[in-house]
Amino acid sequence: MEGDIVEMGKFIGAGIACTGMGGAAIGVGNVVGTYISGALRNPSAAAGQTATMFIGIAFAEALGIFSFLVALLLMFAV
């Protein structure tokens, strides 16, 4: 057993921060799932909305990225 308690706290904090990515996963899954259910109802309108889907994915993903950022900050900056 080596290291100090600050080091331990850093690792634990980074690990907990990563649970935020689960939220991003739910969000992205929600966006794509809704897109597909809409696309199967009206396939002719689907092609025009792919770009919108990707924008939605990007915005949903952005909030997961902040948890990743917090993990990075805890690991390397604190």
Interface with another protein by CB under 8 A: which residues?
A: 51, 54-55, 57-58, 61-62, 65-66, 68-69
The distance of closest approach from Cβ of residue 7 to another protein in the complex, given in angstroms and rounded to an integer, is 17
- DSSP secondary-structure letter at 43? G
Shorter beta-carbon distance to another protein: residue 8 or 55: 55
The amino acid at residue 20 is: G
The distance of closest approach from Cβ of residue 34 to another protein in the complex, given in angstroms and rounded to an integer, is 18
Collect all residues with Cβ–Cβ distance below 8 Å to 21 and sequence separation of at least 6.
64, 67, 68
Shorter beta-carbon distance to another protein: residue 5 or 44: 44
Give how far the C-alpha of residue 21 lies from the chain's centroid of Cα atoms, to the nearest Å. Answer: 4
